[in-house]
A and B are shown apart, each in its own frame.
Chain A
Amino acid sequence: MTVQKTALTGNYAVAYAAKMARPHVIAAYPITPQTSIVEKLAEFVEKGELNARFVNVESEFAAMSVVYGAAMAGARAFTATSSHGLLYMYEAAWWTALSRAPVVMAVVTRTVGPPWNIHVEHNDILTLRDAGWIIAMAETVQETFDLTLQAFRIAESAALPMAVGVDGFVLSHSTEPVEMPPQEVVDKYLPPRRPDVPILFRPGKPVTFGNLPSDNRIHARHKIVTVYEAQQEAKKVIIKADEEYGKLVGRRYGGLVEWYRAEDAKHMVVCAGAWCSDAKHAVDSLRSRGVPVGLMRIRFIRPFPREEVAKLDQYETVVVYDRDITPVGGVLGLEVKAALSRARVVNIIAGIAGVDFDSRHFYETIQNAVEERYKELEFVV
């Protein structure tokens, strides 16, 4: 009946939120640093605290295939993975998105090798950005809990799968205070799973999905609707989900992005994920030294918050931090820059391969960027 105040690791926050969402089917394969999510959920099911089918799959590819099948059959389905596990389920993940199956997946973000490396990086979850998944990144353990809960509502309303990013070890294994709403509130917040989203798949109802199209335009139109238009519609779903959560649970995050000390800023920092807390500390320190800097935390990488990002053009310098790397720079750096035409964008790639990057590093590098000591693309190791 009451709000439960406790302390949880990021992984346990995911597990408790997933439990409260009352999923029907859970299938996940263990991979560091996601393992304790899977173990906790198995425990809930075995103890009878969670009435769900927990499927002990033999791989991540099987995990995504199982939750895909369950979702297409009308069930609420959940999985979790990291890094190489996500890459192993990659084909199934694309298939899931283009089938509009409302699967919810926690991605405990971890470096991709070789060499083997279990520490934090964002490249893994970002590989989903073209596939049509909704992608969110949590900053705190509380937000991890809230996003995981909201994901079921968002995914089912938008009819798109959603991935919740939880920084590996940094968030997944850090213990922070968490407030969990009572189950009745969650039940009110999450509407019942409609069995006909995306299709009603039942014996005796002969319908087929996925056979070759007689005209490729059928497929092309389906892709435009699913990969592009549904993402734009999802923005409204996400904002509404955030608002309703605020009303029922008492916590709001502001939608697709979070603005921090931006009103009278001249320079803006852009980042996503747990290290935004460190960046905010640095912003506070710089502010106390008179540097007019603010921060935009990107909560949803997909759908890309283009309208909000475009507002960054009014600033002098936009310093975008990427905890990922691609052959053309950082993902966030590229996408933010593509939305701007006036502001000077500096893309800093840092903290990859799990290299520590804390508020002191943010403090130094924000200053360097603002004082024009960096090139457009800067690597900090």
Chain B
Amino acid sequence: MSFRLDQLPKKKYVVPGNAACAGCGMMIGLKVLGMVLGEEAVLSIPASCASVVQGLAPKSGVAMPILNVPFASAAAVATGIAEAYRMLGVKGHAVVWAGDGGTADIGFATLSGAAERNSNIIYIMYDNEAYMNTGIQRSSSTPRGAWTATTPVGKRERKKDVALLMAMHGVPYAATASIAYPQDFYRKLKRASEIEGFKFIHLHVPCPPGWRYDPAKTVEIAKLAVETGAWILWEYDNGQLKLNPPSTIYVDKTKRKPLKEYLKLQGRFAHLTDDDIKILEEEIETKWQTVLALAKAFPQRL
């Protein structure tokens, strides 16, 4: 599939003058979502930054049909919409656009239920790695060592890997993505929209106020996450797990940029010592080994 920038839809699904912070990574993701599914999807959005960036009623800052839903309910509401559309003969996709809080923590039961049932929805977890909407409190998706308002000396626990958990549910499609690689995210959205059943995309989304960096660096930081190996691009498609470029390069850990380059741009990691960083690097390598082992265990489509 060709991804020519000049051929992408120009329609503004993210409408100027919305309530997002300057440099919000999520809005880049929403733009790509609009390009792929803007006319074919309805969104269920639980309490999160996404609820607020829509701006104030009677205006909306996102030009797609949106149902704002209770915090823990998004996967279930989208399931209801999908089942209704199926009965009513309505063509289109029920999509969830939810944060890490509403997915990995309070929304985990409805997420797992929808995945286990193989409900016909596309679930996109935009991961800014904390409860940003309520003021930067830690979530289970906050990385180890990160400062948040509720982990002021750095989070003691490791990051919960929701995408792997979804793959282990045996869903038809689960993938990671990053706003620094919109072409990859675009392709994954398109792929998800071709599949019947439960599809999950874990989107890495830097957050200037939460991660404490100059908002101009949102894309740069997202890129560094991949280039240092801290964020791995992979997809699990009908039983086959494989890495996606450019993460394919970083299988070789000598090719990864030093983790420090990713961490030093972010105030939330400013307190880490070199020893702390070494531990994080080792943990990253362990995660790589896990993903590679899974790629070996799931070598081909079922």
Contact = CB atoms under 8 A, between A and B. Distances in A.
State yes or no: do A and B touch (Cβ within 8 Å): yes
B56 interface: yes
B79 A205 contact: no
A210 interface: yes
Given A59-B109, A62-B109, A73 B80 contact: yes
B81 A203 contact: no
Contact of B55 (A66, A95, A202, A211): A211
Interface in A38-74: 52-53, 55-59, 61-63, 65-74
Q: Which of B52, B73, B84, B110 counts the most chain A CB atoms within 10 A? A: B84
Contact of B80 (A56, A59, A66, A203): A66
B302 interface: no
B10 interface: no
Contact of B59 (A201, A205, A214): A214
Interface residues of A, number: 44
Nearest to A200: B65
A214 B67 contact: no
Nearest to A210: B68
Interface residues of B, number: 49
Interface in B57-115: 57-60, 62-70, 72-73, 76-81, 83-88, 90-94, 109-110, 112-113
A68 B80 contact: yes
Interface stretch (B35-43, B177-185, B268-276, B286-294): B35-43
Contact of A58 (B39, B62, B86, B112): B112
A65 B121 CA distance: 14
A208 to B, nearest CB: 4
A116 interface: no
Contacts of B128: none
Contacts of B62: 208
B44 A69 contact: yes
Contact of B79 (A55, A95, A206, A211): A55
B51 interface: yes
Interface in B1-53: 39-42, 44, 51-52
A61 B84 contact: no
B114 to A, nearest CB: 8
Nearest to A63: B76
A68 B83 contact: no
Contacts of B51: 210-212
A208 B54 contact: yes
B82 to A, nearest CB: 8
B157 interface: no
A75 B39 contact: no
B261 interface: no
Contacts of A218: 57-58
Contact of B88 (A61, A68, A74): A74
A98 to B, nearest CB: 11
B190 interface: no
A95 B93 CA distance: 23
B70 A65 contact: yes
B196 interface: no
Q: Which of A53, A92, A203 counts the most chain B CB atoms within 10 A? A: A203
B67 A203 contact: no
Contacts of B39: 203-204
Contact of B84 (A70, A203, A205): A70
B116 interface: yes
A366 interface: no
B84 A73 contact: yes
A56 B117 contact: yes
A92 B70 contact: yes
A77 interface: yes
Nearest to A27: B80
Contact of B57 (A27, A69, A92, A214): A214
Contacts of B66: 206-211
Interface in A169-209: 195, 201-209
Contacts of B88: 24, 73-75, 195
A212 B42 contact: no
B72 A69 contact: no
Given A58-B110, A74-B88, A203-B92, A211 B68 contact: yes
A229 interface: no
A376 interface: no
A62 B110 contact: yes
Given A75-B84, A75-B87, A211 B40 contact: no
A120 B59 CA distance: 47
B113 A69 contact: no
Interface in B109-142: 109-110, 112-113, 116-117, 119
A206 B63 contact: yes
Given A66-B76, A69-B79, A72-B81, 19 more contacts: A53-B83, A58-B110, A58-B112, A61-B72, A61-B110, A66-B80, A67-B80, A69-B84, A201-B42, A201-B67, A202-B65, A202-B90, A203-B91, A204-B39, A204-B40, A206-B66, A207-B65, A209-B67, A211-B56
- Nearest first, the 8 closest Cβ-Cβ pairs linking A and B are A69-B80, A210-B68, A58-B113, A203-B92, A65-B76, A75-B84, A69-B77, A214-B56
17 contacts: A25-B83, A53-B86, A58-B113, A58-B116, A62-B113, A65-B73, A65-B79, A66-B77, A66-B83, A69-B77, A69-B81, A73-B85, A77-B84, A201-B42, A203-B41, A203-B93, A211-B56
